[in-house]
Structure 1
């Protein structure tokens, strides 16, 4: 997973009967006693109903400071499961310099209202969305949008319930800022003495910035909330290309940005200097901070672009690494990145079926890590060349499109990744155990066989095929088209498997699948790991739909459901 930066610790909910005040005091005392790095935050789940008293936020902030924790490092996690959250509550906590995380985001009541009507500091994604996400493309699509929505408003996302490395990698690629769960460290992960309060690590992403992002990213000197208005105006007068300057706290975390348009009165007025010095205005940098689109620089390019595209009136994109400011990207560079992604995607997609191709397959196999079961399937048509010769290429294309439709439907139903290698070769991967994937494959082959029969003449359907010349010019009988499948199941508990070895094993099993009566051939993981496979990692290199070259690594791996910890 890489070297992970500790962003904070999450306190477990209080035991039954323990008063909230006493529990929070114990959590703060234990957290402070651990001697953690400055800026590390304590996340405490709190029932919103305990904040009905308007004096509670101020008392909580005073409690934190009294016990040695800056109020800004105390994050209250509020869930809308028991009571609807309100923007007024978030505002009231912010006024006391308390941070707010919308817990269980996507499953509570009032969360969207708080996101749009207030400025929460974090979105905490419910385990319902994050558990098993590596093999669930529908969940990936939902989470990508939730993360992008938060990033567009400058709110980082936290994934909870992360138990496998595959899920962690997927959440990192989708742009999630932090993670928490058994994979990261359970309740015993908190250093220090034992006690009635248990805390668990919330960590950073632990990934390097991709070279292309680093090329387009520009360094920028941020503002501090303590800077004077004179300092801010002076910075803009020096010539800030992006029209905004990020504001960070003492730990380098992005608080928002100051926009040039909010300072035009001071920048372009003859009396600007006098207005700045006017004590009656009492303006500070903190008064000018507004949300701005923020994305993790180590996320997938699609996630970075999504954060910018959904932001209202974006002037640029702030990039972070491990939760700290890394740099900025201009609108021009974001659009350039978008164009490059679109071109790369178009090149990889099959022109007939519009399914992703070889580059996406390799990418998918590389990131389908251990911890989640997968069944990888290679499909190839039987008797397709003879059909093309007898009925023409146009009718052959219709058969290919019919199979693509059947495969796409299976992908939608089971959250799988599907791809068109080229010609009549297809690839699929379903997050299913072996028996379930076997059943799905059988149904898929049967559905296609029924559709393929409709492309034959009534005489050929009745006869079960037709006579024609084979590739050697000899007359023989060709049965109706069917699809053959090679299956390889990858259990959740498995060693890392080289994607090239998977490709080679699937290609090698194609002949056995075509020779099988049922059109299925299964390859065991034991055989694969034992070296019972052909050397090389390429599909066959013939096919009218374009060359079937070996897998080529590309930055993007399109999924069937397009995307867009507390570890960075």
Structure 2
């Protein structure tokens, strides 16, 4: 039978809070927590789990919010929240390799305004569970009014002083202002599901998420994309630069503890797909990464001076925790300035300060090694960071990129890309296409398609209007491909002249055809404006054949040959596909729809 909250809490108000709190203990015994993983979108590695309250209805509540509102109204919010924290922490501690993971716990920000609020109790719960203080991220929901910067800052200071991390939940759903976040500098910003839903199809949502991500990185915060439910949303959030992702596409919340917590295999597989350019950026980054030795946050401050004396060429010292996760940096200039102040050395040698380096710790932008160089450069410029950017791999400290190293890495990346780009469209050229195809075709996929695009009647247009106008037509189609194929993560390359190549996998055949034909129809409509009014009205161009004879040529269109690649074959090369595409292209050019598709069905090589 469900516990009747109203009867129990109103049965005898005269007996005081102690009796009512005892009733709340019965309520907490009935509820449970489900865990949902939060993962790195580049690798599929699990960063942590959010604890989500479940089975509240067994205690007679209509919603989670009504449970907390009732606790607040009866003066028991702090006691109830602490019982729930204990339950969540104890269950989390039973996860495999729990000490490596982070626990995201939603707490009601009204807790700090209760009369019986006592700091330090969460730290004791973590200690008993064998966990470090920075294991827990306390999520403050923006659905409560946290637009008061001073109030939010007080909460952050309270918990940071105790060694905890803080995340702003549901960002974009309620009251918070950019100024509030700028002044309070949370460790993580979780973007509300509303903005993630359909972000791959909504340019305004994509722009919003991009701007918030850039802002978060500027204040050295990480971004979690909440509520990712489709593969397309996942890939879009990764491309935008979200540091972490969470949602049904990753895994549904479960009250049962997972057997493994290192990685989500299905997401790891998706993460390896369509990462063109990222691997090259990663190789370049590693070659320029400064292998600056980090210091642990429990170091004696006096020893920091020895660190800088031993490493005279180092201006900043990265600070990590016991797990090897970066916390920030200590600047040589800041530390020495303190040393040379009156009584500076005496203060450092004071036993009360010997294990506290927080006064010297500065926040610094942190990014995964798989982040693109373009994103890193944007973060560096937006943050106006004199310190550089700390790079991590699966959340652990890897090294530092200072201003000089970052600029050299960007320059080398640009040089390498220039060798592989078509000089007109800046799309991957032949070498890049072959390299990408070799990698993609070597991996069996259930659904994969290659498409070749070729202009129809391009030469007469080029002869009449000139090469410059011909180049404009090619650039127009390049832009159209970017828009028409944006709903799926297509690879698009420019073979040369008026020939383009596309490749996509893990989408339905109908969706691939729809995207290709959308690009064709967009070009058919927009290219008309490139002709003079008389030719446009006439519907054809009067030009000359190769023999010099006058001839009527239809307005330009684009033919497309789509090759369906067998899912299990790993012996197929781009040359084999090109031969099949040439046959289909002939069919397409004689087809009113200018489109043809077929299977590559040659015997195994």
SS in 1 for 2:358: helix
Q: 1:3 to 1:227 in 2, by over 3 A?
A: same
1-side partners of 2:283 and 2:516: how far apart? 41
Q: 2:380 aligns with which of 274, 294, 308?
A: 308
Matched-pair contact (CA < 8 Å) for 1:402–1:451: no
Gaps of 5+ in 1: 194-198, 536-568
Q: Greater Rg, structure 1 or structure 2?
A: 2
Contact kept? 1:9, 1:190, Cα under 8 Å:
no
Return closer, same or farther for 1:156/1:399 CA change in 2, 3 Å cut-off: closer
Higher helix share: 2
Residue 443 of structure 1: which of 521, 526, 536 is its match? 521
Instruction: Give the match for residue 522 of structure 1.
Output: 596
Shift of 1:300: 2.6
The alignment of Structure 1 onto Structure 2 pairs a total of residues equal to 520
CA separation of 1:509 and 1:56: change in aligned 2, threshold 3 A = farther
State the alpha-carbon separation in 1 of the partners of residues 535 and 232 from structure 2: 52
Cα distance in 2 for partners of 1:77, 1:503 equals: 53
SS at 1:12's partner residue? Answer: strand
Aligned to 1:556: none
Q: Compute the displacement of 1:182 (Å).
A: 4.1
Matches within 5 A, 1:109-124: 109-110=175-176, 112-124=178-190
Deviation track 1:281-337 (CA, whole Å, cap 9, x = no partner) reads 889312211101211113333333333232233222211111111122232111101
Q: Aligned equivalents of 1:400 and 1:106: distance in 2?
A: 40
Q: Counterparts of 1:506 and 1:112 in 2: how far apart (Å)?
A: 52
TM-superposed CA distance for 1:479, in Å, is 1.3
CA 1:297–1:135 in 2, change beyond 3 Å: closer, same or farther?
farther
Against the structure 1 CA distance between its residues 130 and 113, is the aligned structure 2 distance closer, same or farther, given a 3 Å change threshold? Answer: same
**RMSD value over aligned CA atoms?**
4.7
Confirm or deny: 8 A CA contact 2:166 2:186 kept in the other structure: yes
- Is 1:384 matched up with 2:384? no
Secondary structure of the 1:220 match is coil
Q: CA deviation at 1:427?
A: 5.1
TM-score (norm 2): 0.70
Q: Match for 1:424 among 498, 502, 505?
A: 498
User: Which residue does 2:143 correspond to in 1?
Assistant: 81
User: Do structure 1's residue 454 and structure 2's residue 532 form an aligned pair?
Assistant: yes
Deviates most, 180-189 or 357-366? 357-366
Confirm or deny that 1:46 pairs with 2:104. Answer: no
Aligned mates of 1:211, 1:463 — CA distance in 2 = 52
Cα distance, 1:56–1:75 mapped onto 2, change above 3 Å: farther
Distance 2:42 2:388 in 1: 29
Correspondence list, 1:342-361, <5 A: 342-353=414-425, 357-358=429-430
Deviates more, 1:434-443 or 1:302-311: 434-443
- SS state at 2:53 partner: coil
Contact conserved, 1:178 with 1:202, CA < 8 A, in 2? Answer: no
The 5 Å alignment of 1:91-110 reads 91-110=157-176
* Aligned position for 1:340: 412
Of the three residues 130, 154, 160, the one matched with 2:220 is: 154
Offset, 1:97: 2.8
Q: Residue in 1 aligned with 2:585?
A: 510
Gaps of 5+ in 2: 1-40, 62-66, 68-79, 273-278
The answer to whether structure 1 residue 265 and structure 2 residue 337 are counterparts is: yes
